[in-house]
Amino acid sequence: MSDFTIQNVIIPQTDGYTTTDVQIVDDKITAIAPHLDIIGRLVNGENQLLLPGFVNAHTHSSEMWLRGLIPPFPLELWLAELYAFPLLTPEQVYLSALGTAGETLLSGGTTVVDHLVLIPNQELDTVAAAVRGYKEIGIRAFIAPLIQDLPLSMGIPAAGTSQTHKPFFRSTDETLEFMATVIQQFHDPESGIHIAVAPTGPQLCTDALFTGCMELSDKYNLCRHSHLLETKVQQKLAQERYGCSAVEYLQNLGYLSDRTSLAHCVWLSDKDITILAQTQSTVVHNPLSNLRLGSGIAPVLKYRQAGVNVAFACDGASSNDSQDLLEAIKIGSILHNVTDFDYRHWITPRQGVEMASIGGAKGLNMADEVGSLEVGKKADLVMYNLKNLSLLPRTDPIGLLVLGRPGNVVSNAWVNGKQIVADGEIVTIDVRELQQELFNQSQWSIKHQSQFTKDMEGHYRFVMDLPK
Ligand SMILES: [Zn+2]
């Protein structure tokens, strides 16, 4: 029996906080009230804050192998660097899935959306390796294999020049067949592994790929994911290729829905924002990545005012370069204060926490099951030690958690009622062994610039009106 009762824990209420008991039977919250009978194991919640687990709503786990390494470049050149590195092995994908999940859990996350970069010609093994990692550690995982059917060089507009492109190495049909196989083999929500369809974005995918993914999503009831208008270049490209915005393009295809989540959304017009609101699509805000790659500041305050659901994420660890969700929530909340003098629109710490929890859950069509502290919901819970030095002295716990710089504050975490973190340590895997493997399979390195980046740089600078 894994039932447990958390005693005397602090939880937020509409106005302030209360100290209460929380009872968990099997995988669900069965009671929240003071002085409950102790069912199962007793967990002392004294001086601890209990919150619903957050969603790390967009990342690329295997980028962990390159974190801290890629020089300051905008997305298009950064991608050229990323793809110029030697291919990973499935074993490395497994290890970086564990690492990504571990950092997510230790910064308040209980669900991760992994827009998983596939090793060419080992696509199925890549997914299997990530599934293995996430199952072992026990985080709730949405694995969204990153697919495209156009070559990387087509991600930059021609801007009146004539450009030649090599075809992408895998056909659209093969990619869709691969996705069908992945779904049949690995989509298993009961075990905490969900597969999502996720063309990388309109800049590198054909109509046929999006349409094929929509059919799979409808057939198997899967979430839909994509990057959307991360950079100015992508905004220009959509106009050049489709004669409309990328949002209008996706709406015309029918890709936008209440189970569609869209990473970045930096370069949207007011009309685009209305479309996202009407289609109940979710924006996934990756503030650190947007800053690191110079992509811009997503108009998150406008999204909130228009009623668009917004979730937080870290994005891959080579454009961040960590998987600290609390950091993403902090920066993603206060960054927008500089975009609007009306401080009444600014994101409060409590709103930030809600965006990260119920906002994340909504984007994954799971708001009925996770994302808030309510009886009947699944026990995806995180407890924070309020006696940690970084959370003292005692003021507003959520204010400290979001606006401060909390370190090592997660004391306990449960996913689906199963304990994953206890006394500040991940207990489902051998973390020391993971550290040793991450160390062994890497080496101290410095930045380098690939030939591929050099080849693309001239055209990029032309398109962006930058001096030669
Ligand atoms: Zn991404």
CB 336 within 8 A of CB 300: yes
This prediction's pTM: 0.97
Tell me, what's the pLDDT at 279?
98
* All structural domains of the chain: 4-51+378-427 (2.30.40.10), 53-363 (3.20.20.140)
Provide the pLDDT for residue 1. Answer: 56
What would the pLDDT profile of 101-122 be if each residue is shown by its tens digit? 999 999 999 999 999 999 999 9
CA–centroid distance, 53 to ligand 1, in Å, is: 21
Distance 222 CA to ligand 1 centre (A): 19
Q: How far apart are the CA of 254 and the centre of ligand 1, in A?
A: 22
pLDDT score for 456: 87
Q: How far is the CA of 24 from the centre of ligand 1 (A)?
A: 35
Cα 239 to ligand 1 centroid, rounded to whole Å: 22
Count how many Cα atoms sit within 13 Å of the Cα of residue 200 in the half-sphere of its side chain. 19
pLDDT digits (tens, 9 = 90+) for 397-442: 999 999 999 999 999 999 999 999 999 999 999 999 999 999 999 9
Tell me which long-range contacts 116-120 makes (C-beta under 8 A, separation of at least 24). 116/60, 116/61, 116/62, 116/143, 116/144, 116/145, 116/146, 117/60, 117/62, 117/63, 117/146, 117/316, 118/145, 118/146, 118/147, 119/87, 119/88, 119/89, 119/90, 119/93, 120/87, 120/169, 120/170
Among 148, 410, 438, which residue's Cα sits nearest to residue 317? 438
- What digits encode the pLDDT tens for the residues 267-305? 999 999 999 999 999 999 999 999 999 999 999 999 999
pLDDT digits (tens, 9 = 90+) for 333-362: 999 999 999 999 999 999 999 999 999 999
Q: Most distant CA pair in the chain: distance in Å?
A: 74
Element housing 20 (H / E) = strand 17-25
| Segments of the chain with pLDDT less than 50 | none
Q: How far does residue 457's CA lie from ligand 1's centre (Å)?
A: 21
Give 350 Cα–ligand 1 centroid separation in angstroms: 26
Antiparallel, parallel or unpaired: β 109-116 and 54-59: parallel
Q: DSSP characters for 166-223?
A: PPPSS-HHHHHHHHHHHHHHH-BGGGTEEE-B-B--TTS--HHHHHHHHHHHHHHT--
pLDDT at residue number 207: 97
**Is the CB of residue 403 less than 8 Å from the CB of residue 335?**
no
| pLDDT, position 449 | 73
Ligand 1 centre from 458 Cα, in Å? Answer: 24
From residue 236, give the alpha-carbon distance in Å to each of 205, 227, 258, 286. 16, 15, 27, 21
**pLDDT score recorded for residue 84:** 87
- The rounded Å distance from CA 228 to ligand 1 centre is 9
